[in-house]
Amino acid sequence: MASNASFSCFRTAGENTRLASCSSVNFAAFFLAMNKTPTVKAKMTLPALNVDFDTDAECRQALEELRWPDGVTCPRCQSESISRITTRKQFDCNACRYRFSVTTGTIFNDSHLPLPKWFMAIFLMCESKKGISSMQLMRMLGVSKKTAWYLNHRIRESMRIDVAEPLEGTIEVDETYIGGKPRYRVGTGSHHARKEMVLAAIQRGGEIRLQHVKKGFNKKKGQGFGNKRQFHKFIKDHAPNPARIFTDEHPAYVGIGDEDTTHETVKHAAKEYVRGDVSTNTTEGAFGLFKRSIVGSFHQISVKHLDRYLDEFEFRFNNRKNGYLFRDTITRLVTAKALPYEKLTA
């Protein structure tokens, strides 16, 4: 039956603080109310999606559970006294007589796209490690170019309402150059004029922050290299007061430490990657993925898309362990208008 099938995909350990912090939905109360034992992690898969959300009714059931975990509430007067008009997939408020459906006042109502296609689009976007283009969505869903663009844009926005927390503890910072030719070529300023510099900071075992630094200038190395002011600003912006900062020996990092923050370097040029616990090993994976990903995907993309690309990468990386992304994204989409605007932009 639709009720159980759709619900099973939303079971969690009830400890998803990420979601709790950015939406009003209280999942712990939800599960208690439903009297079900949450499983540790129920990750959405393509076959499960196919079985559980291939009909309008199943999608509606899921949306209802996510939008009103404590029971259907009138969007107009907040009354909990509701009658179901099952034949018309609608609810009737017993207090104010307002007639509404689970999609009333949500983004799902704005489009004429069938709900199973919405769910499919959300799933595809959550599962694509490198992101997905509108053209690809168009082909995979069999929708128009305009619809695909709209879905891509709207879902992406809902995937990213998290507020970036400052990085803490042990931070590793690295820089990379994008756009052609070898990385370090001292004295070849003209080559770097065409390169774009990206700074990356990672909290050990935590999140990554990426930033495209424009028009950097270094007296010795020339245009495109970035200077001390930019490097320091990037670090202060994303990690105001970490305990330790590990970097390579780029001169622009010099002086980033202070009495609270130890700055330690590894000599990458001399193939030194580990010295005691001073290393960038834990983040080699992230930087490696980032650089390979850029080489693989970015070399054909123009600079104007770089910021968006970095955003996408950052988001994917930071959500790599979030098994609830599919459910979270749907919840955000169905509750989006209930959230105050400041909460989205704070």
C-beta of 4 vs 81, nearer to Zn ion: 81
C-beta of 79 vs 136, nearer to Zn ion: 79
- Smallest gap from Cβ 104 to Zn ion, in A, equals 12
The phi and psi torsions of 4 (rounded to 5 degrees) equal -75, -40
What's the chain's length in residues? 346
C-beta of 33 vs 77, nearer to Zn ion: 77
Q: Distance (Å, rounded) from C-alpha 161 to C-alpha 209?
A: 15
Binding residues for Zn ion restricted to 126-185, rule: CB under 5 A: none
CA-to-CA separations, 208 to 161, 174, 177, in angstroms, rounded:
16, 11, 17
- Smallest gap from Cβ 214 to Zn ion, in A, equals 52
Q: Crossing angle of helices 115-127/145-159, nearest 10°?
A: 60
Task: Determine contact, residues 143/137, Cβ cutoff 8 Å.
Answer: yes
Q: Distance (Å, rounded) from C-alpha 43 to C-alpha 272?
A: 39
Q: Which of 98, 100, 149, 315 binds Zn ion (CB under 5 A)?
A: 98
Contacts (Cβ under 8 Å, ≥6 apart) of 11: 31, 36, 38, 39, 42
- Smallest gap from Cβ 73 to Zn ion, in A, equals 9
Angle 255-257-258 (CA atoms, 0-180°, nearest 5)? 110
As a whole number of angstroms, the longest Cα–Cα distance in the chain is 77
Q: Which of 33, 46, 95, 140 binds Zn ion (CB under 5 A)?
A: 95
- Smallest gap from Cβ 89 to Zn ion, in A, equals 18
Task: Determine contact, residues 256/245, Cβ cutoff 8 Å.
Answer: yes
Give the x-and-dash track for 32-71 against Zn ion (CB under 5 A): ----------------------------------------
Binding residues for Zn ion restricted to 70-89, rule: CB under 5 A: 74, 76-77, 79
Three-state secondary structure call for residue 247: strand
- Smallest gap from Cβ 93 to Zn ion, in A, equals 3
C-beta of 100 vs 217, nearer to Zn ion: 100
Binding residues for Zn ion restricted to 176-235, rule: CB under 5 A: none
C-beta of 95 vs 295, nearer to Zn ion: 95
- Smallest gap from Cβ 331 to Zn ion, in A, equals 23
C-beta of 81 vs 144, nearer to Zn ion: 81
- Smallest gap from Cβ 71 to Zn ion, in A, equals 14
C-beta of 82 vs 171, nearer to Zn ion: 82
Q: Which of 9, 66, 93, 252 binds Zn ion (CB under 5 A)?
A: 93
Residue with tokens 């099952």: 86
The phi and psi torsions of 205 (rounded to 5 degrees) equal 75, 10
C-beta of 47 vs 71, nearer to Zn ion: 71
- Smallest gap from Cβ 100 to Zn ion, in A, equals 8
Please tell me whether residue 99 binds Zn ion under the rule CB under 5 A: no
CA-to-CA separations, 327 to 7, 123, 284, in angstroms, rounded:
11, 9, 30
Q: Which parts of this chain interact with Zn ion (CB under 5 A)?
A: 74, 76-77, 79, 93, 95-96, 98
